Amino acid sequence: MGAVQILGVLALIIGILLIGVEFYMPGFGFPGIAGIIFTAAGIFLTGRNVQERVIVGVIAIVVIAVMLVISIIVFSSKKIKSPIKLDEDLQGKNLFIDEKDMEYLIGKRGVAITDLKPSGKGEFDGVKFDILSENYYIKKDSPLVITEVKNNRIMVEEDK
């Protein structure tokens, strides 16, 4: 085995380790990109011909797949905290506001906090809501009235 192949094996090992680090970090960042580059360079430098490069590439993919399966098994156990998985349960039986619960808003008067094009934000009785106008533009600071609540969207008109 020549010096180029040894360098290729080192690059391949570094690349696979960097890809393994990427499994534990949320997002796609430096370790993932560097791992792909090092792995590709290692595959290219290790193999002396196309056939050897394909074999080394398949071996690298199998090793990475095994690492992924192991990390999934380790993180799915409750003993180790995953940096990319939310382990806490959301409390409360009703986490979403039902449309019927929002019907009390109909007829409330407020003001547009942002321009409505046709969506934006409005304030009604000191509470800010995401609101929607009936397909027309309403300027910021215009008086509003809530006309209906449909599909959990608060529909408004300009109050005249």
Q: Which residue has the tokens 């499994």?
A: 23
What is the average per-residue pLDDT within 38-43? 91
| Torsion, CA 18, CA 20, CA 25, CA 29, rounded to 10 | 40
97: confidence class by pLDDT, cuts 50, 70, 90: low
Sign (positive or negative) of CA dihedral 36, 40, 41, 43: positive
Sequence ranges of the chain with CATH classification 2.40.50.140? 101-158
CATH of 101-158, one of 2.40.50.140, 2.120.10.30, 3.40.30.10, 2.30.30.60: 2.40.50.140
135: confidence class by pLDDT, cuts 50, 70, 90: confident
pLDDT at res. 110:
93
